Structure 1
Amino acid sequence: MGSASGGKRRYQSFRNKQRANMSFFIVVIFFAVFGIIVFTEIFLIDERGRGAGVLVRHGSIPYHHRTQDKPDYEDALQSDDYISIRMGGGGGGLDDTVGALLMGRPVIPAAPVFQDNGQDHNINEAQLPPFPANFTPVDGAWQIVNGTRYKFYVFSAFLDARKGQRAIRIIGATKTRGADRVWCRFWYKTSEANSTSYASKTVPAKLKVIRENWNLKYSACFILCGLGNDQIVPTAVSVVAKVKQAPSNILSVINNYNETKPASKMGVCVKALHFDYNKALQLLEFIELHRILGVDHFTFYNHTVGAQVACLLEHYINKGLVTLLPWQLNMVSQKEIRTEGLFAALNDCLYRSMYKYSHVILIDLDEFIIPKHNDTLPQLLSWLSTKVNTEATGSFSFQNAFFYLQWGDDDWVYTSDDPIATSLLTLKKTRRKTKLHPHKQRSKYICRPEFVVETGNHFIWEFIPGHNTFNVPADAAILHHYRICEFGGDDCIQTASTVDVTTFKYRDRLVEAVGSLYEQYRKVCSLPDLPPPPRRENYKLLNFFSNR
């Protein structure tokens, strides 16, 4: 008996040692794997001494703002953080070269030296590929960056000279993590013997991945190309993977800044139209109601639209009310990049609108910011400025209210004989969810572009230092969002609801505007006949089934 008990104790002791050894082995394996990850992150992904530029990656968890992050203007453009540049060759910089060319004097190009973590990169511009003879600088079209390991595209370039820090800010799309290092080649237009030529200057780029990337393989990004305080603003810019590689893209540099003519108008930005979008009446309702609300201009991005919408947009473009930019990004939507690269579109529109419009609304086609008491959005903002100090306000956030399309139409629809009036969503759908989403969840905003660094879908990710968001109270204005149940099915209409007829104050003006345009372009744009209003004798039956 004692022998059996002793054997059992020895066996138990042996098993305990086995478990202890196994635990130790697991801990060793864990730290080994962790060490490999850290080693890879430091030496293979964020290696500073290799290549041309510097890579900055922000947290990729969506809808999480890390307030401790250094602002873009301190993190991306400060001279002590940016790659320092000094001019070689006896002090003759490229600005002198450009100036001499503009004056018609022959010059010998200087060789600037770039310091990258103690390593000098001697670059003689005369030895680099010249401006491509068959290229013309383009604004607002996706162009490829050749020679990179992963997909890399650029769309537009803007002078960003706020807070005394100057850079060319390029809107692009590339790998979310471990993106390729790239260079910026500035192009300066010169004239020689009745022909146009270009002098160049090459600087290292700094890449900043846009935060809202949903952890997908590719993300919208900023490529920042530093400009000296006295450096001439280039005519165009190219992004190259290697300085001695011929450029495959030429972007016109947009400079909207005009200190003598401050902006005072309001613009709207809408993400890419896709899936052959062809809802002609919805487009007319969106544009005309926003015009009533005080909007002066609309910027759209065209991935794919149908013939009727394309026709209507063409007429708005001819009137100067719409800018339509092509949007053919060679990345798989939702698998490689979020929704046709929407965050590139939103930030492009932000910088494109800067100094042209005092306020910009970034919104979708089924959304409208509706004031409760004021008639227009400029009047609302003016009224808010009398209640609170909005001088430092960079954006005004509005809470989201769902007007689910599965809810029945308003009663007045069954008493109207006007097919236009009874077809407009903002007039026939008056029942909304009682509970509003909190700010930053489904909310939309009106921003002041010159105070914003990086914008997102539902809120501003980063402001110029000293600016912030003002959360507009729901009793002043809310976001009307007309859509089906967000999670599929019809369960959403079981939630608590209320009737909101705030848009009725626009009914006469909206019906007249949309009706007039629909009739004007019915034949030209092959617009379909609208369904007749619901028959009055069926009103009670229809109302019973739609609200049960």
Structure 2
Amino acid sequence: MNKYLKWGLILLFVIVNVTIFIVVAGMRSPEVAGIRRSPEVAGMRRSPEVAGMRRSPEVAGMRSPEVAGIRRSPEVAGMRPPEVAGMRRSPEVAGMRPPEVAGMRPPEVAGMRPPEVAGMRSPEVAGMRSPEVAGMRRSPEVAGMRGSPEVAGMRPPEVAGIRLPEVAGMRSPKMHRAILAPQPARNLCPYRTSTQNITPLNNTKHLLVSAYLDNRVKDWDLRIIGIFRRDSILPLHCFFCCRSYFSNHSTLASIEQHTDNFGFPFVTTDVMCQIPVGCDATHVTLSIHPDSMEAHQQMFLPIGNQESSGTEERRPQFNFTVCISNLFGDYNNVLQFTQALEMYRLLGVDRVVVYKTSCGPDLDRLLHSYSQEGLVEIVPWPIDKHLQPSRGWLYTEHGGDLHYFGQLTTLNECIYRYMDRSRYVLLNDIDEIIVPYNQRSLMPLMNELQQQHPKAGVFLIENHIFPKHHFEPSAKFHMPQWEGVPGVNILEHIYREEPNRRIVWHPYKMIVQPRMVEQTSVHSVLKNFGNTFKVPPDVCRIVHVRVALQRRLTKEQLHIDSRLWDFHDKLIPNVDKALRRIGMIS
């Protein structure tokens, strides 16, 4: 009997409190509950009459002055009577779960959620937080009840698992924030950036290579280096990305083919662009139409030499950079190229740039080894994926689309690539070494030449052939450890041809100040801003070990030139170290 009396008292307590909530609270009656989505009200959310109602005591969770103040009134704030406050930890209550209650979930109660209660979220209760209830949260009668012995462990069937329908939904009416309309995505630029060194220009037969700021030519701001088909030149328009946005304003380009094409259908071409006023250009593309929609379909090129746009003159990162144009086929002359690289290092060269289409496997390993240590930059040059490049220099003899795998294009590209980064650029082939004969390195040579010829920006160095079939008889520098390494040992070839000066044309290679060159060919520049000086061969010459040019000359008719032997004490151990690094010698 006592057990059922306890259950009855608890149930009566819950019913009384819920009844108070229903009677007093800001009820959501059926008429109110439904009004939320009624068509008449759906659009009313922002009307002045409703917008202002959000804070009215009758609507917004009804916190009337009498109730709002009650939370902090001295009579209520913190009020927990001693007989209640102390009850939480009283020994009589602390552990009290009477045996008859502890495990009790009688069969008739277990899981009991009467149908009229289960799922019941009556409209009168949903969302209800009346002022009297809001203030009741901390009332002494309720606050202290949490630990009362009658309640502590007891979960009567009606309360067990209780989310009583009348209480479960007791929340203040939901206030809806304004939802901002979605903003259109910003017109970011570039849309597509080329990461390749050769980029086809859509809707044309042309190829784009790179773009660089260049304000040295009046009325123009930027130069795009490309490979254009000579019989398909059409007007082009320049489009820019201005730091982060696309400039709808295009500028008409100036297209200039280089004069050296050697009869091939494709030629190195410069496209000059004006940058629109106010545009901080970072990327550029070309289009045959002035319409910007067509330009969106093109690949954008990043613009190099951004430092050139400033007026402050910067000190170059390097003093000397060697540009070696076009490595192709299965060329695998490892020994000679290793010797050339180590000679350049001894002469003061900071960087060697190699444009590589393909090469032999051993040379490929060597290149990557030097690339990892920073001496060599490998520029991938997949010209054979776009054209049928020629292995020769003259179209009528060798055919193909383009001279020597694009040699002229890569030489020009290398000049602009290092225009702001290197004080001097050397333009020569992979088996050629520009060697000073009166100084131990290139810097004192160039200091002397610049002092004598301050307006010169191009220095022509005469090419001298050392036939590789003539060997030095003593075999002084025949190194046994190099016998298994593919390639030529240049230290064994000291017999030099004297150039035939009776012919009008004689090959030179060059040392240039890159900012004083606009266009170059293989043996001379096409356009430059300063003077050109031919360096006497007794001051500096090219050591070029290769097949004889004048094959009728005997060894006795050749000149002995052992200049490279002056570097043997450092050259040989450095070559050994490089070959050992790639496993070519033990």
TM-score of the two chains, using structure 2 as the length reference? 0.60
In 1, are the aligned partners of 2:481 and 2:585 still within 8 Å (CA)? Answer: no
Q: Does 1:146 align with 2:202?
A: yes
In structure 2, the CA distance between the partners of 1:310 and 1:266, relative to structure 1 (3 Å rule), is same
Letter in 1 for 2:253: A
Secondary structure in structure 2 of the residue aligned to 1:213? coil
1:505 aligned to which of 563, 566, 578: 566
In 1, are the aligned partners of 2:457 and 2:532 still within 8 Å (CA)? Answer: yes
In 1, are the aligned partners of 2:305 and 2:419 still within 8 Å (CA)? Answer: no
Count of residue correspondences:
382
In 2, are the aligned partners of 1:176 and 1:215 still within 8 Å (CA)? Answer: no
1:347 aligned to which of 406, 412, 430: 412
Match of 2:580 in 1: 519
Q: Which has the higher contact order (CA 8 A, sep 6+)?
A: 1
Letter in 2 for 1:319: E
In structure 2, the CA distance between the partners of 1:189 and 1:440, relative to structure 1 (3 Å rule), is farther
**Which of the pair is proportionally richer in strand?**
1
Q: Provide the C-alpha distance between the structure 1 equivalents of 2:554 and 2:401, rounded to a whole number of angstroms.
A: 34
Q: Does 1:428 align with 2:481?
A: no
2:251 aligned to which of 203, 213, 238: 203
Shift in Å at residue 176 of structure 1?
2.4
Match of 1:402 in 2: 465
Q: Does 1:275 align with 2:329?
A: yes
Shift in Å at residue 347 of structure 1?
0.4
Q: Map of 1:336-415 to 2, 5 A cutoff?
A: 336-386=401-451, 388=452, 390-406=453-469, 408-413=470-475
Higher Rg: 2
Shift in Å at residue 441 of structure 1?
2.4
CA RMSD of aligned residues (A): 2.9
Q: Provide the C-alpha distance between the structure 1 equivalents of 2:328 and 2:525, rounded to a whole number of angstroms.
A: 24
In 1, are the aligned partners of 2:238 and 2:250 still within 8 Å (CA)? Answer: yes
Q: Does 1:221 align with 2:269?
A: yes
Q: Does 1:237 align with 2:305?
A: no
Secondary structure in structure 1 of the residue aligned to 2:281? coil
Q: Does 1:442 align with 2:507?
A: yes
Q: Provide the C-alpha distance between the structure 1 equivalents of 2:547 and 2:505, rounded to a whole number of angstroms.
A: 21
Letter in 1 for 2:387: M
Q: What's the CA shift string for 1:340-365, capped at 9, x where partnerless?
A: 11111000001011021010001101
Q: Provide the C-alpha distance between the structure 1 equivalents of 2:477 and 2:211, rounded to a whole number of angstroms.
A: 53
In structure 2, the CA distance between the partners of 1:528 and 1:468, relative to structure 1 (3 Å rule), is same
Match of 1:456 in 2: 521
Letter in 1 for 2:436: P
Q: What's the CA shift string for 1:58-102, capped at 9, x where partnerless?
A: xxxxxxxxxxxxxxxxxxxxxxxxxxxxxxxxxxxxxxxxxxxxx
In structure 2, the CA distance between the partners of 1:170 and 1:163, relative to structure 1 (3 Å rule), is closer
In 2, are the aligned partners of 1:216 and 1:337 still within 8 Å (CA)? Answer: yes
Which deviates more, 264-273 or 309-318?
Answer: 309-318
Secondary structure in structure 2 of the residue aligned to 1:261? coil
Q: Map of 1:257-336 to 2, 5 A cutoff?
A: 257=307, 259-263=312-316, 265-329=319-383, 330-334=386-390, 335-336=400-401
Match of 2:215 in 1: 161
Match of 1:24 in 2: none
Letter in 2 for 1:147: N
Q: Provide the C-alpha distance between the structure 2 equivalents of 1:303 and 1:495, rounded to a whole number of angstroms.
A: 40
In 2, are the aligned partners of 1:398 and 1:472 still within 8 Å (CA)? Answer: yes
Match of 1:485 in 2: 548
Secondary structure in structure 2 of the residue aligned to 1:235? strand
In 2, are the aligned partners of 1:400 and 1:436 still within 8 Å (CA)? Answer: no
Q: Provide the C-alpha distance between the structure 2 equivalents of 1:287 and 1:414, rounded to a whole number of angstroms.
A: 22
Q: Provide the C-alpha distance between the structure 2 equivalents of 1:354 and 1:221, rounded to a whole number of angstroms.
A: 18
Q: Map of 1:8-23 to 2, 5 A cutoff?
A: none
Letter in 2 for 1:333: P
In structure 2, the CA distance between the partners of 1:434 and 1:492, relative to structure 1 (3 Å rule), is same
Unaligned 5+ residue runs, structure 1? 1-105, 110-125, 191-196, 530-548
In 2, are the aligned partners of 1:142 and 1:327 still within 8 Å (CA)? Answer: yes
Which deviates more, 428-437 or 445-454?
Answer: 428-437
Q: What's the CA shift string for 1:157-202, capped at 9, x where partnerless?
A: 0000226654211110012245232221111232xxxxxx544442
In structure 2, the CA distance between the partners of 1:411 and 1:160, relative to structure 1 (3 Å rule), is same
Letter in 2 for 1:512: P
Q: Provide the C-alpha distance between the structure 1 equivalents of 2:459 and 2:412, rounded to a whole number of angstroms.
A: 17
Q: Provide the C-alpha distance between the structure 2 equivalents of 1:415 and 1:511, rounded to a whole number of angstroms.
A: 9
Secondary structure in structure 1 of the residue aligned to 2:233? coil
Shift in Å at residue 417 of structure 1?
5.0
Shift in Å at residue 471 of structure 1?
0.8
Shift in Å at residue 404 of structure 1?
1.4
In structure 2, the CA distance between the partners of 1:383 and 1:436, relative to structure 1 (3 Å rule), is farther
Shift in Å at residue 274 of structure 1?
0.2
In 1, are the aligned partners of 2:193 and 2:299 still within 8 Å (CA)? Answer: no
Shift in Å at residue 439 of structure 1?
9.2
Match of 1:546 in 2: none
Q: Provide the C-alpha distance between the structure 1 equivalents of 2:339 and 2:572, rounded to a whole number of angstroms.
A: 9
In structure 2, the CA distance between the partners of 1:415 and 1:502, relative to structure 1 (3 Å rule), is closer
Letter in 1 for 2:491: L
Match of 1:253 in 2: 303
In 1, are the aligned partners of 2:369 and 2:582 still within 8 Å (CA)? Answer: no
In 1, are the aligned partners of 2:579 and 2:585 still within 8 Å (CA)? Answer: no
Q: Provide the C-alpha distance between the structure 1 equivalents of 2:477 and 2:212, rounded to a whole number of angstroms.
A: 53
Shift in Å at residue 308 of structure 1?
2.3
Shift in Å at residue 416 of structure 1?
4.8
Unaligned 5+ residue runs, structure 2? 1-182, 391-399
Letter in 2 for 1:257: E
Q: Provide the C-alpha distance between the structure 2 equivalents of 1:508 and 1:424, rounded to a whole number of angstroms.
A: 19
TM-score of the two chains, using structure 1 as the length reference? 0.64
Q: Map of 1:62-77 to 2, 5 A cutoff?
A: none
In 1, are the aligned partners of 2:347 and 2:440 still within 8 Å (CA)? Answer: yes
Q: Provide the C-alpha distance between the structure 2 equivalents of 1:313 and 1:200, rounded to a whole number of angstroms.
A: 44
Q: Provide the C-alpha distance between the structure 1 equivalents of 2:363 and 2:246, rounded to a whole number of angstroms.
A: 40
In structure 2, the CA distance between the partners of 1:232 and 1:366, relative to structure 1 (3 Å rule), is same
Secondary structure in structure 1 of the residue aligned to 2:253? strand
Match of 1:87 in 2: none
Q: Provide the C-alpha distance between the structure 1 equivalents of 2:439 and 2:330, rounded to a whole number of angstroms.
A: 36
Letter in 1 for 2:459: F
Shift in Å at residue 222 of structure 1?
0.7
Shift in Å at residue 470 of structure 1?
0.8
Q: Provide the C-alpha distance between the structure 1 equivalents of 2:319 and 2:477, rounded to a whole number of angstroms.
A: 38
